[in-house]
Amino acid sequence: MARALTCAAPVGDRCGEGAVWSAAEAALYWTDINRFLVHRYDEATRAVRTWLFDEPVVAVSLTRDEGRLLVALGSKLIYWWPETDRREDYGFALPGAPRVRLNDGRADPAGNFWVGSMKNNVQPDGELGEAGPGEGVLYRIAPDGGVTVWREDLGISNTLCWSPDGRIFYFGDTLTNEIYAYDYDMAKGAISGERRFFAGFARGAPDGSAIDSAGFLWNCRFGGGCIARIAPDGSLAEAIDMPVTNITTCTFGGQDLKTLYITTAGVLAGPGERLAGSLFAMRVEVPGLPENRYGAAVR
């Protein structure tokens, strides 16, 4: 199926990540890990505003309070108010940093924040280092700040999504080229019953994902030049070609949640990829789901 794809913002990210849609602002927030940036894209004006941080910025989450975001930096979590640029440390500091760093993170339907870690592949100057297996951990940060470890011995933690009914949690490891499914207990904020959901796909490796209201997982493929649209039974429904090699994460936005916003990376790009690192937008037929919020359960 041919899909209409536009370059929404040619920002030249080294590694765009962490896309989250703010319906209240009609705007998209996302990060550039290697340049220590957070961007904000205003859908109406197409203007981009950018803030600089002191270390890699890996994920952004809405919270129960409008105007306040939870931001995952390489070594810790902070609260951030973009309107005033106020920043406050928030509880969790990553054990072992800077040898390891945080990576993909997202709030769950119960209001917890789940975030994974990995061997730190970002040097102090932002240049790319080497990742490696076995040093990543999957954490859950409860609304009261309590921290629980749910998975260890990971390579690169990626893909944190919940099914539309909130009963399945999806999580991936980029280095093993695997996405797993778990049973998710919303009352307890707990996962169990790990099984392989989608693995061994030859086009790149799994990076960030989003899920639509029909339960299809849209998985960005780093190094694969595509997005894999995966059916609830784990079969490949579609491979959507992209004009750059490294596709990093995506989320649904727009008033009708039918615009898929897609971040990409300029690092390790192929020759002639002048739009590598851009933010792209693609219209889709099935809407996504509203973003979960840290500290607030889905109602």
Nearest Cα to 142, choosing from 100, 188, 208? Answer: 188
Q: Given this model, what pLDDT does residue 111 score?
A: 97
Decide the pairing of beta strands 48-52 and 57-63: unpaired
Alpha-carbon distance 190 to 60, whole Å? 22
pTM here is: 0.96
Nearest Cα to 212, choosing from 238, 245, 188? Answer: 238
pLDDT in tens, the chain (299 residues): 568 899 999 999 999 999 999 999 999 999 999 999 999 999 999 999 999 999 999 999 999 999 999 999 999 999 999 999 999 999 899 999 999 999 999 999 999 999 999 999 999 999 999 999 999 999 999 999 999 999 999 999 999 999 999 999 999 999 999 999 999 999 999 999 999 999 999 999 999 999 999 999 999 999 999 999 999 999 999 999 999 999 999 999 999 999 999 999 999 998 899 999 999 999 999 999 999 999 988 76
- Report which residue type is found at 285: E
Q: Find tokens 């009708």 and name the residue.
A: 256
Q: Given this model, what pLDDT does residue 297 score?
A: 80
Q: What is the 3-state secondary structure (H, E, C) of the chain?
A: CCCCEEEEECCCCCCEEEEEEECCCCEEEEEECCCCEEEEEECCCCCEEEEECCCCEEEEEEECCCCCEEEEECCEEEEEECCCCEEEEEEEECCCCCCEEEEEEEECCCCCEEEEEEECCECCCCCECCCCCCCEEEEEECCCCCEEEEEEEECEEEEEEECCCCCEEEEEECCCCEEEEEEEECCCCEEEEEEEEEECCCCCEEEEEEEECCCCEEEEEECCCEEEEECCCCCEEEEEECCCCCEEEEEEECCCCCEEEEEECCCCCCCCCCCCCCEEEEECCCCECCCCEECECCC
Domains of the chain: 5-294 (2.120.10.30)
Q: Given this model, what pLDDT does residue 1 score?
A: 58
Backbone phi, psi, residue 141, to 5°: -105, 115
Q: Given this model, what pLDDT does residue 270 score?
A: 85
- Region of 81 on the Ramachandran plot (φ > 0 left; ψ -120 to 50 alpha; else beta): beta
- Region of 266 on the Ramachandran plot (φ > 0 left; ψ -120 to 50 alpha; else beta): alpha
Q: Find tokens 């609260």 and name the residue.
A: 79
> Active site residue: 13, 108, 173, 207, which one?
207
Q: Given this model, what pLDDT does residue 2 score?
A: 63
Q: How many CB atoms lie within 10 A of CB 251?
A: 26
Backbone phi, psi, residue 298, to 5°: -65, 135
Whether 65 is a known active-site residue: answer no
